[in-house]
Structure 1
Amino acid sequence: MCFGKCAKCIGYQLLILAILCIVANILLYFPNGETKYAENNQLGRFVWLFQGIIGAGVLMFFPAAVFIGLESNNCFGYGHKRCGKSTAVLSSILAAILGLASAGYCLIISSLGLVEGPYCLTNNNTWVYPYGNASYFYLADHSTWSECVEPKNVVVWNVTLFSILLGLSAIQVILCIIQLINGFIGGIFGCCAENKQSLIC
């Protein structure tokens, strides 16, 4: 398979993952489908950092578009097929670095949100982060999840969606690393001719 075809495949996968990240991040704003917690600013601090909407979402559209366009014969307006495509593949390294940074941002923020736990109303009738400074690891002890009274099932909601964002952004990081290698090799050796196998993908 050609370097451009490999990049195109990665581009489409990143596009799908970006859309899923946007959806997962939007759902974080509406525990149990209710809007009042977002309106009253009663959501965790890591929910408001747009890691899935901006980081692994909108910013990922640019690398995805670049990778998808690499298979065209005259990529980015270069005149000479071979040199043009080699230069274009090398330029995709910059797009891969952008994708790596944006997906990495989502990965880090989602991890922090998962570790800290949700902001919720506890049995003491106060809005706090009950698991942030706890002496136990709440993810391993489901019996402690009942400490959050409101929003209902907010722990399950947060853990599920932050875990999804974590997993999707981790896949994006891996794909961007693959494209870094693919772009580097493709830029050095040139895009493969018809009926020849490339060294990667």
Structure 2
Amino acid sequence: MYFGKYARCIGIILIPFAVLCIMADLLLHLPNGEIKYAEREQLSPMVGLFEGLIGGGILMIFPIVVFIGLDEDCYSCCGNRICGKSSSMLASLIVALIGMAGGVYCFSVSALGLSQGPYCLTDLGWCNPFNTTNGRYLTNYTTWSQCSEPSHIVAWNVTLFSILLVLSGIEIILCFIQFVNGLVGANCCCNQESRECSEIEVYEYEAKGSKNDETV
């Protein structure tokens, strides 16, 4: 059966995406590599939600660990190694949902971050100058000059939020694939488990009967 191998492959693929989400989130807190804006709380409210760190990173650890260990994590229910595969597959369904939830959180917040634009210094002071544009500022590059500080903050935010949007979208797709894979695998393993456990019980019953006959 290849369900566990597929899960292991997906788990390995998720690792770089989770790492990149964490890195992108950290960079959002450091415009131009400077920490002073984070210390002064002069960043977009969306940045403070840690969508990449929590959603695309930390929550993704659970599916990564379970998916990678799924190929070997087969505990016995009837004294048979094969019979434990169904419980492992069911566990993969749960962590796949956790991974999808984390990806959706990261994707949603990143989309809002792109829509609202950065928090920056303008002629009117510190504010969100693009908050009411519904994202139209993204294609109107001439308006980006409204933000004088941090320098190039619009390009910085747009680039990193876009990266998070793409990464989290891929994470959602991968976790969904494993969720479907887990459903199919759990069903197959449950059927095999039922057959294997029945055979074991018959064998034990026959062995016990033979032993009783010998005793008599």
TM-score, with length taken from structure 2:
0.83
For residue 37 of structure 1, give the secondary structure of its aligned residue in structure 2.
helix
For residue 54 of structure 2, give the secondary structure of its aligned residue in structure 1.
helix
Which position in structure 1 is the counterpart of 2:90? Answer: 90
Which position in structure 2 is the counterpart of 1:33? Answer: 33
Describe the superposition over 1:71-98 as per-residue Cα deviations: whole angstroms up to 9, x where unpaired. Answer: 11x4357652222112211221001011
Which position in structure 2 is the counterpart of 1:198? Answer: none
Higher relative contact order (CA 8 A, sep 6+): 1
Which position in structure 2 is the counterpart of 1:61? Answer: 61
- Runs of 4+ aligned residues of structure 1 deviating over 3 Å after TM superposition are 76-79
Which position in structure 1 is the counterpart of 2:110? Answer: 110
**Contact between 2:74 and 2:88, CA under 8 Å: does it hold in 1?**
yes
- Distance (whole Å) between structure 2 residues aligned to residue 42 and residue 9 of structure 1: 41
Which position in structure 2 is the counterpart of 1:196? Answer: none
Which position in structure 1 is the counterpart of 2:43? Answer: 43
* Change in 2 beyond 3 A, CA 1:121/1:41: same
Letter in 1 for 2:54: I
RMSD after superposition: 1.8
Where structure 1 has 5 or more consecutive residues not aligned to the other structure, the ranges are 194-201
Which position in structure 2 is the counterpart of 1:140? Answer: 139
Letter in 1 for 2:114: L
Letter in 1 for 2:162: S
Which position in structure 1 is the counterpart of 2:17? Answer: 17
Sequence identity (%) = 52
What is the CA-CA distance between 1:136 and the residue it aligns to? 7.2
For residue 150 of structure 1, give the secondary structure of its aligned residue in structure 2.
coil
Alignment of 1:173 with 2:169, yes or no, is: no
Q: Of Structure 1 and Structure 2, which has the larger fraction of its residues in helix?
A: 2
Where structure 2 has 5 or more consecutive residues not aligned to the other structure, the ranges are 193-216
- Distance (whole Å) between structure 1 residues aligned to residue 39 and residue 155 of structure 2: 21
Which position in structure 1 is the counterpart of 2:199? Answer: none
Which position in structure 2 is the counterpart of 1:197? Answer: none
Q: Paired residues, what number?
A: 190
* Change in 2 beyond 3 A, CA 1:165/1:135: closer
**Contact between 2:115 and 2:135, CA under 8 Å: does it hold in 1?**
no
**Contact between 1:69 and 1:75, CA under 8 Å: does it hold in 2?**
no
* Change in 2 beyond 3 A, CA 1:77/1:165: farther
For residue 102 of structure 2, give the secondary structure of its aligned residue in structure 1.
helix
Larger Rg: 2
Describe the superposition over 1:139-185 as per-residue Cα deviations: whole angstroms up to 9, x where unpaired. Answer: 01111111111000000000000001110000000001101100000
Letter in 2 for 1:67: F
